[in-house]
Amino acid sequence: MVVRKDKVIKGRLIGIKAMSSRLTFHFGTDGVRGVIDEEFTEFLVAVLAESTIRYWSRKYGLRRLFVSFDARRKSKEFAQIVAGVALNHGLDTVMVSKPTPTPTAAWYGNKFGFDLVIQITASHNPPTYNGFKVITNRGSPAQEEDTDQIEKLYSDEYSDITRSVKTLELRPIPAVDPAPEYINYVYESVTRMFKPRNRFKVIIDPIYATSIGYTSEIMRKLGMDVTEIHNNYDPNFGGREPNPEPQNIPELIQEVTTGKYDIGISHDGDSDRIALVDRVHGYLSANDILPIVVERLASASMIKIGIVRTVSTTHILDNIATKYGFKVVEVPVGVKYVARAILSGEADMGGEESGGLVYSWHIPDKDGIYTASLIIAMASEYKGLTNLISDVRSKYGRAYFKRIDIEMRNSKKFVNDNKETLLKLLSSLGSSPRPITIDGVKVVYGDNSWVLIRGSGTEPKLRIYSEALSMERVEGLINNTVSIVNQLLGH
């Protein structure tokens, strides 16, 4: 690790406007998030940093902290507050010099011996949001047993914590750019497994966010012909949500599906998610991407124990597991649950429908840049991405998937309060219903279709998911579930 002396974040003395009453915060699926200057304020960030540092120091011992931030509004300022709190505790603190992908920060913290990483990011949430994510020295997201205790510590010590962060000296902070070392690592890692043989025309849309200059540089090292669009930082993400779903990347889809490029790649705001576009098959979500990755890794004998998927992730993975004879572990939505299964030795790799894949030989957190690089290396060694997709679908079938979101505060409470009724009504939508309640309410039917309803852990939304072998069946399950929700709401 090289920290350049000319790369130092300057300091100053600031006053943190404290709230008169006790704060309420909760670590959701992937950290604490809120609307900037409303729920997510300088005071909240200072309190989160103070509470986290106190807890981690007492529980695990904390000497070295790595602080990172994304391209959102105020992200750098929030990161400086975290670093200021850390310096007040006498911690050896280093901060990134520019907006940095979450998986890059996690990898860097693990690689260079930091005890903890704190990332300021709201990932794929709308531009008005920001967030605070805690990452362990193994590169994995903090587990609930730790984040619950951070919340408890603040509740127990809130008066002293409030006093300690009211005035904060933002001293000069050593800064580093992790990009060169991370890019070299990813290139070397994927080319050890797969040898690129074919050159593709690749277009990359980092959506004005942290993957700018990352995926594009790795693609060039892999021998691809690369074009990068929307490659200036913009906290408004071009007026769209920083989530690589079709409505947010129309230019990328247009350029590839009209034949100008072979492959399109996009990531979300902090680069832990991935979406692909193929010139024949069009837009590919994580539920399309995961079977490709699992099949190629399995055929290369790199999956020996099994895989882990969340309740909202495609069951096509189960078909692949049956062929190769490895197990499938199902966990709640959230990469921390995928990471836990991998860290405990239950699985070699895994993923979730929202666009994240995790590997036991990499950091135990989702990494869109690593996955993009791995897939391009796979496709280049194979016969191209189009043929790879076609071959996997011909072997294991094509599943259709849809997710809809309904604006709803206290969505988790709604699902919990109505769990028995939801189970009964959803079970009537198909034959041989099999209920799963590890996260919300899910019912799998005899025709291998399924529907899931759960409250979001990151936004005030109720999410409904469905997968089936026909889009007609998917639409039917979604529409019937929406009707059930409206019935329960009295609409």
Digit-coded pLDDT (tens) for 132-155: 999 999 999 999 999 999 999 999
pLDDT at 4: 46
The pLDDT score that the predictor gives to residue 80 is 96
Res 15: pLDDT: 58
Where residue 23 falls among pLDDT bands split at 50, 70, 90?
confident
pLDDT greater than 50 at residue 6: no
Q: Which residue has the tokens 């837009």?
A: 283
User: What Å distances lie between residue 281 and 255, 258, 387, CA to CA?
Assistant: 13, 12, 10
When pLDDT is averaged across residues 364-388 and rounded to a whole number, the result is 96
Query: Residue 240 above 60 pLDDT?
Result: yes
Look at residue 458 and tell me whether its pLDDT is greater than 80.
no
Which residues fall within 8 angstroms of residue 451, CB to CB, at 6 or more apart?
426, 429, 442, 443, 464, 465, 466, 477, 478, 481
Sign of the C-alpha dihedral computed for residues 463, 455, 439 and 269 taken in this order: positive
Q: What angle do CA 81, 96, 174 make, to 5 degrees?
A: 75
CA atoms of 100 and 233, how far apart (whole Å) = 11
Specify the pTM. Answer: 0.91
Q: Could you give the domains of the chain?
A: 4-176 (3.40.120.10), 180-396 (3.40.120.10), 400-489 (3.30.310.50)
Q: Cβ contacts of residue 404 below 8 Å, gap of 6+?
A: 463, 464, 478, 482
Distance, in Å, from the CA atom of 277 to the CA atom of 383, rounded to the nearest integer, reads 16
In this predicted model, what pLDDT tens digit does every residue of 150-178 receive, in sequence order? 999 999 999 999 999 988 888 889 999 99
The pLDDT assigned to 5 comes to 39
Residues 6+ apart with CB under 8 A from 381: 194, 195, 196, 197
Tens-place pLDDT, residues 63-101? 999 999 999 999 999 999 999 999 999 999 999 999 999
> Diameter of the chain by CA atoms?
67
SS3 content of the chain, % helix, strand, coil (to 5): 40, 25, 35
Residue 395 has pLDDT above 80, yes or no: yes
Residue 384 CA to residue 377 CA, distance in Å, equals 10
Place of tokens 């007609």: 472
Question: Which of the residue ranges 6-10, 276-280, 344-348 would you say has the lowest mean pLDDT?
Answer: 6-10
Instruction: Tell me how far apart the alpha carbons of residues 404 and 7 are, in angstroms, rounded to a whole number.
Output: 44
pLDDT at 315 over 50: yes
pLDDT per residue as tens digits for the range 28-64: 878 999 999 999 999 999 999 999 999 999 999 999 9
Residue 411 pLDDT greater than 90, yes or no: yes
> Is a pLDDT exceeding 50 seen at residue 123?
yes
Closest to 263 in 3D by CA, of 222, 309, 212: 222
For position 349, what pLDDT does the model report?
97
Quick one: what percent of the chain has pLDDT higher than 70? 96
Per the CB < 8 A criterion, the answer to whether 287 and 309 are in contact is no
* Alpha-carbon span 487 to 481, nearest angstrom: 10
Q: For 17-23, what is the mean pLDDT?
A: 67
Q: Is the pLDDT of residue 281 over 70?
A: yes
Q: How confident is the model at residue 14 (pLDDT cuts 50, 70, 90)?
A: low
